[in-house]
Amino acid sequence: MTGVLEEYPLDFSRPELRAIRDVLARVLYQPRDLEDLILAAGLNPGHIDFSGSAVLQWRSILVEARAAERLSGLLSAVREMRPPVGPRLDELISPRPVLEPGTGPTDHLSVNGGGWRGFGRERVIMAGNDTLLGIAFLGTGVDRSRSICRVTATWGPARAAHGTAALIGPDLLLTNHHVLHDWDRGGTAAVAVEAWFDYELDEGGRGRQLSVVPCAPETITGERDHDWAVVRTAKAPPRDSAVLRLRGAAPPRPDDYVFIIQHPDGGPKMIGLSHNLVRHVDQDVLQYWTDTKAGSSGAPVFDSRWEVVGLHHCYVDAPDGDGVAYRNQGRRIERVLEGLERHGLEAA
């Protein structure tokens, strides 16, 4: 163990420790699995608070493991039970942890979006909406997923961040500007970028064969106002990857359903399929309930026909007293396409 895990007591104000906690809570949360893990690590279950969410339980587990000087054994047991999480843990305990990209002050993220709109209907049951989809929807989603990868941007020996990207040309990746530029330190572009294709689990929960594709940081191009950026790969993506088409979608509307294929918490590829209603649309942004996490920045937002309608980039806080914590927000894909054209870039 190194770095953040050596501190006593553990400092949960450090983002890498919170990321470790969240990754573990995402992959191990069933009571039986947690019980087996705790016993395998030699911890006393009676010293652990099992009330609350998986995140709170994992905070208690990590605190107890550190106090008992059994963190190494705990993480070894995690790697044995969930091998695909190993690479992500290695990143987070390294001297240069790969974290969620910073966004600096957040007031500019809703440029021309007007912040939270159309609230007051958050808890209305949408009884008139038909949620049934043709079975081909699933196969088409898998096809679209072959364009999605995890991207890592590096700015120096101690600064790196992760996000999600999509292949929109034979060698062109689209993600957020704040993923490839360090918004917390003046917006400088990354000096190194790599993409992880096929970073996902198979039907048995095993990791697929990962393909690491280096990118050319000198090709980074983008616009901060609408939070998009592209970078070219330095070698060809895997042969079974797919180029994602950005044109052809109908304009999104409130109460539409939208789906996001993403790399939440920098981990294996996942999709949000529940409570996915669009709540607001204007000329620049759409806001929705679709689940995302840190690391989902830069993921394409799909409609029910698997056409791209937006580029996910942030969440928006609810107004005081509304009773809802936040919504997620994406940039309208039309604004991204306009930006690509201004820079002479072709998208599928």
Whichever domain contains 177, its CATH number is 2.40.10.120
Q: Within 10 Å of residue 160's Cβ, how many Cβ atoms?
A: 20
Residues spanned by the domain of 307? 101-348
For helices 71-81 and 54-67, angle between their N-to-C axes, nearest 10 degrees: 130
Please say if the pLDDT value at position 275 is more than 90. Answer: no
Bridge partners of 260, per DSSP, are 272, 301
pLDDT tens per residue across span 169-210: 999 999 999 999 999 999 999 999 999 999 999 988 888 999
- Residue 262 scores a pLDDT above 60: yes
Phi, psi angle pair for 203, to nearest 5° = -60, -25
Using the predicted structure, report yes or no on whether residue 91 has a pLDDT greater than 50.
Answer: yes
68 and 182 co-located in one domain: no
Q: Which long-range contacts (CB under 8 A, 24 or more apart) does 117-126 make?
A: 117/279, 117/280, 117/282, 117/287, 118/254, 118/279, 118/280, 118/287, 119/279, 119/318, 119/319, 119/322, 119/324, 120/322, 121/279, 122/279, 122/322, 122/323, 122/324, 123/323, 126/255, 126/277
pLDDT score for 323: 52
Work out the average pLDDT over 61-67.
96
Span 82-109, average pLDDT? 83
Count how many domains the chain has.
Answer: 2
pLDDT band at 131 (very low <50, low <70, confident <90, very high): confident
pTM of structure: 0.80
- Same domain flag for 206 and 341: yes
Q: What is the DSSP letter of 322?
A: S
Pairwise pLDDT comparison (62 vs 157), residue with the higher score: 62
Which helix H or strand E contains 174, and what residues bound it?
strand 172-175
* Pair 168, 43 in one domain: no
Show Cβ contacts of residue 136 under 8 Å, excluding neighbours closer than 6 positions. none
Q: What is the pLDDT of residues 251-260, one digit of tens each?
A: 999 989 999 9
pLDDT at residue number 134:
85
157 upstream amide cis, omega within 30 of 0: no
Say if residue 36's pLDDT is above 80. Answer: yes
Q: Which residue among 52, 72, 95 closes a domain?
A: 95
Residues 151 and 234 in one domain: yes
DSSP single-letter state for residue 316: E
Tokens of residue 317, six digits: 């806080």
- 136 and 175, same domain (yes or no): yes
Residue 340 DSSP label: H
Contacts from 129-135 at CB under 8 Å and sequence distance 24+? 129/255, 129/277, 131/257, 133/304
pLDDT of residue 130: 62
When pLDDT is cut at 50, 70 and 90, the band that residue 27 belongs to is: confident
Considering 95, 125, 145, which residue would you say is the last residue of a domain?
Answer: 95
Cα 2 to its chain centre, rounded Å, is 25
Position with higher pLDDT, 348 vs 294: 294
Region 317-322: mean pLDDT is 63
Same domain, 163 and 290: yes
Q: Sorting pLDDT into bands at 50, 70 and 90, what band is 127?
A: very low
Query: Is residue 62's pLDDT more than 60?
Result: yes
- The reported pLDDT for the residue numbered 173 is 98
Q: Give me the pLDDT at residue 113, please.
A: 46
Q: What percent of the chain has pLDDT over 90?
A: 73
What pLDDT shows up at residue 77? 96
pLDDT band for position 125 (50/70/90)?
Answer: very low
36 plus 145 within the same structural domain = no
Residue 274 has what pLDDT? Answer: 81
Instruction: Report the chain's mean pLDDT, rounded to a whole number.
Output: 89
pLDDT in tens, 44-53: 999 999 988 8
Amino acid found at 311: L
Both 133 and 26 in a single domain?
A: no
Range of weakest confidence among 168-182, 221-235, 270-284? 270-284
Same domain, 132 and 232: yes
Nearest to 293 by CA among 308, 319, 276, 272: 272
Place of tokens 């101690």: 158
